[in-house]
Amino acid sequence: MDRSLQRFAITCRSKLQKDAKKASKAAKKNKNEAKEESEQNQPKPAVLLLEGVECDASTLKNFDIKTGMQVLLDNLNFTFVTNPPTVLALTTYPRSVVYVGCPIVPQVSIEFGDDYECMWAVESSPKSGDFEIVSHEKVFTPEATALDCRVKVFCHAVQSTTEASSRDRVGRSVVFYLAGTVQAAPETADGFNRLLGVRQDFNRLRRANQPRSSTGFDYLDSQTQAVSTASTERQEDELRLVTYNILAEPFATSEQAYTTLYPYCDQEVLQSEYRIQRILAELLACDADIVCLQECDLRTFDAYLLPILGRRGFSGHFTCKGSTEGCAVFTLDSTCRVVQRVDLPLKNVLRDAPHLSNLYLQRPDLQDIIGGKLGTVAQITVLQSTRRPQQAIVVANTHLFYHPLASFLRTIQAYAITEALGAIQSAIETNGLQQDFISLVNGEETNQLALEKESRLAKCLLSSRQVDRTDLDSTTSAAQTQDKVKATVMLLGDLNSSPNIAALQFLTNGFATEEQLNYVWEEVKHFFWGDREANFNFTNIHDHKEKRRKAEEEKRQALKDSNAAGAEGGNVEELTEKLEELNLYLDSAGLQPVMTHRLGLMSAAGFAPYSNYTPTFKQLLDYILVQERDFEVVRVAPMPSEEVFGEFEALPSAVIPSDHVAIAVDLRWK
């Protein structure tokens, strides 16, 4: 310890002497004055102080050093800080590509700290090298004046304390330069997404009485504020919902994406640094209360969506489908409080479902597919309205199985979700909000897994809005009321079903017609795991009826041939195999489970021509389904014209960052 103090004193005095010489020359002191001053400042031994009292350094060991100890060196006082909060690394978007109007949030690696603070600086003009401080927020949105200018960010780590008398510990500030300059997006001069222009009037309607504090989104807000004297606020009894399949990064940047799926699209536009910034700009401009996302990968959620939307006041939750992507839901804290989150893997409830026993008996492989291979999940979030404390909102977010020959699977999955929503709604209206909804629909097995996932996400340093288990408990406790709680349910997501298909008809009508079900269940015979292309395409239900009639005739003839072959010693095995195939076809109607629900769901956004627009497929697949008894539709975000869709051949494009378009609606409580 003595040697450490000596080295410390030598280093400090060396620096002080250099500074003193410079000051002496600047003041042009004479030799006598300099000599007199030097004699007065003869070096003295460094003194170690502990709580203001001199301490014998020779008795100390390394582990005895504590924050707050001091070293007195001449007339200077230095304070020890052990394990100071330190910023280890800072990154933004890949290659530091940033665009005008798109928010930036740093990804910060911290040691000995639990938070960080930022200060952003932008060049006063391109290549000038003169930087001006423009923001002290964690999120920074470059303005048009920053075009072609460099950006740097000062960042220091913070260790918060729970003691009222103590101040947070603040680490040393570190400066990072973004590698590139601020760019304009290819499609517009100011880099603002053209889709936002189509929905400008919709986006201008902000939440009523919602304060707009300076949180790094000022420029984005200015782009969506109204320029007329018309009302620019939504009413307090309105709720804005958004569902959006954002196209997972692994799907957009694969070799197949470049060469087969989106060959018309420039590879730069498919990169995450371009698409994510456009997606965030769109979501922030929409100013929704509840946002449901599909095809969201964990990296995108953790690094970009959660920190930026968290700064906007959202709580977020991510659920993986068991592959490279999953679903994410964000709810605005000022509008609705999270009571509980329920992750419902549909395979868990369908694996041994009694109503599917006949199907599994005829097709055992389907039990393995439905109850094992399919990773489809329903993210169910139980919310309590902050404006209507006696009103619960049960939101389900899902992305149903995609295969063109799997309408019957999507119908089964839709049924499982309605069963869960109905059970939760009934439980709330019977026993209130203070109960375990996870076990109600999912069993105890996955309860702990869900809580661990929430706890992991709650530790994300980039957002102060995340919900951990303690928050959930306190929220649930606050949700207890003596009056009866009313619950409404809603289903948002990519349902991979057009409006006239059985799954959608089942959801909106409570049942599917016999013709629709016959058509759907005919697919059972043709669907096998691993088949990527549809080899079955009936143009209408009459084709199915005609094929069924012929199959019945063939079965009768096969029975005759089988009996005759048996009597004559013919090829019975071949005929029996054909007969079994025909039986499977004819028994498909008997495989149909009885599936109904009484939720009274309607498509709040109506039925647009399409929400998914690719070179080979154009169809409406995304929906916001709500209970008609509880809501009336106030307005629907307009869809871009086919001219906008087709300007770049298809989606995604430089205009729209996904192969889907977001569906957004405003609802009013009845």
Q: pTM score, two decimals?
A: 0.76
Q: Is the pLDDT of residue 405 over 60?
A: yes
Looking at 79, 102, 134, the residue that finishes a domain is 79
Give 469-500 pLDDT, tens digit per residue: 334 444 444 445 456 899 999 999 999 999 98
User: Which of 31-45, 60-74, 296-310 tops mean pLDDT?
Assistant: 296-310
Is 43 in the same domain as 159? no
In a domain, 617, yes or no: yes
In a domain, 325, yes or no: yes
In a domain, 526, yes or no: no
Q: What is the pLDDT of residue 663?
A: 97
Measured distance between the N- and C-terminal CA atoms of the chain, rounded to whole angstroms: 74
Looking at 183, 207, 240, the residue that finishes a domain is 183
Which range is least confidently modeled, 250-259, 328-337, 583-592, 660-669? 583-592
Is 373 in the same domain as 266? yes
In a domain, 273, yes or no: yes
Is 442 in the same domain as 313? yes
In the chain, count of helices (H) and strands (E)? 23, 26
Is 37 in the same domain as 90? no
Q: Is the pLDDT of residue 50 over 70?
A: no
Question: In which band, very low, low, confident or very high, does the pLDDT at 197 lie, cut at 50, 70 and 90?
Answer: low
Query: Are 398 and 493 spatial neighbours (Cβ–Cβ below 8 Å)?
Result: yes
In a domain, 494, yes or no: yes
**Separation between Cα atoms, residue 282 and residue 331, nearest integer Å:** 16
Is 201 in the same domain as 335? yes
Is 75 in the same domain as 94? no
Give the number of other Cβ atoms within 10 Å of residue 553's Cβ. Answer: 10
Closest Cα to residue 282, out of 224, 175, 196? 196
Q: Between the CA of residue 470 and those of 162, 184, 233, 256, 342, what are the distances in Å?
A: 16, 43, 34, 44, 16
Give 542-595 pLDDT, tens digit per residue: 455 565 556 556 656 766 665 665 555 555 556 555 555 545 444 454 556 778
Q: Is the pLDDT of residue 382 over 70?
A: yes
Residue 321: Cβ-neighbour burial (10 angstroms; 0-12, 13-18, 19+): middle
Give 494-521 pLDDT, tens digit per residue: 999 999 888 999 999 998 777 777 777 7
Q: What is the CATH number of the domain that holds 308?
A: 3.60.10.10
The DSSP code sequence of 101-132 is T--B--EEEEES-SEEEEEEEEESSTT---EE
Q: What is the average pLDDT across 511-540?
A: 67
In a domain, 403, yes or no: yes
Is 261 in the same domain as 340? yes
Q: What is the CATH number of the domain that holds 143?
A: 2.60.40.2700
Residue ranges making up the domain that contains 59: 2-79
**Separation between Cα atoms, residue 620 and residue 590, nearest integer Å:** 30
Looking at 183, 209, 224, the residue that finishes a domain is 183
Q: What is the average pLDDT across 450-460?
A: 39
**Separation between Cα atoms, residue 291 and residue 473, nearest integer Å:** 23
Per DSSP, what are the bridge partners of residue 159? 169
Is 178 in the same domain as 243? no
> How many domains is the chain built from?
3
Is 67 in the same domain as 134? no
481, two tokens: 């009321």
Is 202 in the same domain as 175? no
Q: What is the average pLDDT across 73-87?
A: 78
User: Which of 42-51, 383-392, 463-472, 481-490 tops mean pLDDT?
Assistant: 383-392
Is 259 in the same domain as 373? yes
Any idea which residue has 């010489």 for tokens?
A: 21
Q: What percent of the chain has pLDDT over 70?
A: 69
In a domain, 292, yes or no: yes
In a domain, 564, yes or no: no
Is 299 in the same domain as 394? yes
Per DSSP, what are the bridge partners of residue 342? 380
Any idea which residue has 């192969």 for tokens?
A: 659
Of 461 and 237, more confident: 237
